[in-house]
Structure 1
């Protein structure tokens, strides 16, 4: 069996070792699993990405709502939205809206 030497931050190594130990395996076993899965998939066994939080493109309805909200904020179109300060005001407003729909 060959030996692999890798430079890993001490904190990352300790946290990863703790994680895999909680799963009943050593860090060495986890690394072997990663390498074997890489060979099985003929590449990295997950899709590497650069994340800065979750990035999702808004759907058309969301984009329209965003543009409308910005236009109201800028005073381009009138803002006739109801403002509720308390939870009870929100409930009252929702009751009124339900009454209009029926």
Structure 2
């Protein structure tokens, strides 16, 4: 028998385990049922729908962080790059680079 490792939020795992335990089965049995039913249906065994409690579109802050991380990963941006969000921050950073006190 194969082993499956999945990353699941602690709260989701605990609540799902309690749910399936109340139905007389383990979380492992429930996952096996899901996978077997997926094979039977030749796809996801239910109609996936968006959960309205989760923000599916990244915020501007998240999007910027994702782009920055990818740029660092690709070597386009050094890991110690300075982020300047305003013109004043840019000027301050340039003064520091030139060795002038603020």
> What TM-score do you get using the length of structure 1 for normalisation?
0.50
Q: Which has the larger radius of gyration?
A: 1
> What TM-score do you get using the length of structure 2 for normalisation?
0.50
